[in-house]
Amino acid sequence: MATTRSALTDEDIRTLVKGATPDERALAARKLCHNIDRAPLSSEDRELAADILRIMAADAAEMVRKAIAETLQASPLVPRDVALQLSRDVESVCLPLLSFSPAFTDADLAEIVRLGGPVRQVAIARRPELSRTVTESLAEHGGERAVAAACGNPGADFAESALNRIVDRFERSERVLASVAYRNALPLSVTERLINLVTEQVRDHLLTHHAVTAEMAMEIVTGTAERATVDLVDQAGKAADVRTLVTHLNAEGRLTASLLLRALASGHMTFFEWGVAELAGVPHHRTWLMIHDAGPLGLRAIYERAGLPARLFPAFRAAVDTYHSMEFDGGSKDQERFQERMLQRFLTQPEQAAREDVDYLLSRMDGRLAPAPEPAEAEVEEDVVLIA
């Protein structure tokens, strides 16, 4: 190892191995580590350097082992076995390597997260890059500080399932939830859950950065998540993956007849089409043909296949007919006119609808229509109101 020996005298090597004091050995160790890290080494030199590092890693003096960790914390020359040995050392030795060393595999880091304790977890959570293997381990086994650090780490790659697991485990931790909320991108399922859990300041950030309306946030906070979902469709429906959204809602038991009716009455035909296709188990293109069939049987057939309640079919029929009667000029007011016509037509149908649906749809008018009169006492039943 000519390059290394040229920078170290025989006295340096003897001091490294047999130095009388830890300070002397630590100084010799730092000198050698600097040389190993900076000098161009052949394959033979690398093997010799690795052997020397193994000797230093076994030194009884913490100062010597710390010299390796601090000097070579980001070096690719540290052998994996040495890195693993030092990862079990005292904190002053292990933390520099756990924070930066490329010697560890993702599986190594995941196992250290599982067994290593909170301080080591935090060091790993702050590494410049974290794979999903590591973040999944943090989501399952990490302490509060480590999970918050990982969620706040822009180099950490999280699967949707890992983020949902974090929300499950730390739903009462403002620190962790805020770290999740401030990530650059969040899956829909995580955003929906966070809005109902975080503080007002963090909620404001979600509203600003994750394409959800203030109305949606307030609806979720007050417990009316179904209404909020329609508002989410309002905000993101044009660009969002509608198929994924309805699949998620169905899995959560939230793709209800009431939700579909509210969405359709607000003008979201695409959402209605995909929602019916999901409930009916029929491909979207076939569902589309049946919904928009000019005859009287297509919509009813797919509606019944989806298991939607018969009493609400006339309201759905009226909404679909209104959609077909609309003419669009491509202007900026198309959507507003569409929604207003839908709501007017729906609200004037002589059919029964749930009181909460009526109240919601009226609130959606945003002042465009005059407030509807309160129904007479005799017309109101416990859960249903007759719309005249």
Report the C-alpha gap between 350 and 277 in whole angstroms: 27
Distance CA 51, CA 61 (A): 18
Q: Find all residues with CB under 8 Å of 331, minimum gap 6, and list them.
A: none
User: Pick the residue with more confidence: 257 or 146?
Assistant: 146
User: Which of 149-153, 250-254, 270-274, 286-290 has the weakest average pLDDT?
Assistant: 250-254
Is the pLDDT confidence value at 358 over 60?
A: no
**pLDDT: which is higher, 176 or 239:** 176
The average pLDDT across 99-124 equals 96
Residue scoring higher pLDDT (135 or 31): 135
Residue spans per domain, the chain: 1-96, 105-210, 241-388
The predicted structure's pLDDT at residue 91:
95
Give me 184's structure tokens: 């650059």
**How confident is the model over 130-150, as a mean pLDDT?**
97
pLDDT at residue 347 tops 70: no
Query: What is the predicted pLDDT for the residue at 361?
Result: 54
pLDDT for 5 equals 46
The band of 83, judged by pLDDT with boundaries at 50, 70 and 90, is very high
Cβ neighbours of 332 (radius 10 Å):
7
pTM over 0.75: no
What pLDDT is stored for residue 273 in this prediction?
92
Residue 377: pLDDT band (50, 70, 90) is very low
Supply the mean pLDDT for the chain: 77
Angle between helical axes of 144-151 and 132-141 (0-180°, round to 10): 150
**Which token pair is 192?**
């929906």
Lowest mean pLDDT among 304-318, 342-356, 372-386: 372-386
What DSSP line would sit under 293-330, residue for residue?
A: -SSSSHHHHHHHHTT--GGGHHHHHHHHHHHHH----S
